[in-house]
Each structure stands twice: as C-alpha cells, then as structure tokens.
Amino acid sequence: MLCTIKGRDEDGYPLEGINVVPNFPPRPKTQEESTIPKLVQLLQDANQREAQWKDSFEYWNRKYHSLYQIQ
C-alpha cells in the first residue's frame, strides 16, 4: 500500500495550485554563534605569537652559545 501526504499525489507533487514555501525572517545570532569566530581569531593570533617567540628564542639561544664557544 502506498502512503500519500495530504495535498500531494503519490509522487510528492502538489495536487492543486502552487506549493508555497514560507519565508522566515533571519534568526538573531546567539551568544555562541558570535563567540566562535572570536575564539578562532584568538587561537590563530596565539599560534602566530608562539611561532614568533620560538623563532626568537632559537635565534638568541644560538647567539648565546656561539658567543661562549669563541672565548
């Protein structure tokens, strides 16, 4: 037995007229939705600062060791 939806034929098409799709207004952003991009930006900034600090540390560490190897 074939089930049909009220107002539609067995293939799912409307029986009469035009099937109107409601147009809902956009939802307001919730606190979580507006916070996620900020968190992603903070994480990217922290990773960039870490990379700069690591490069700086390695540079000064090499300079320090090269200074005391000469004497």
- Give the closest residue to 29 by CA, choosing from 37, 21, 20, 18: 37
pLDDT of residue 71: 52
Residue ranges in the chain modelled with pLDDT below 50: 1
pTM beyond cutoff 0.75: no
pLDDT of residue 2: 55
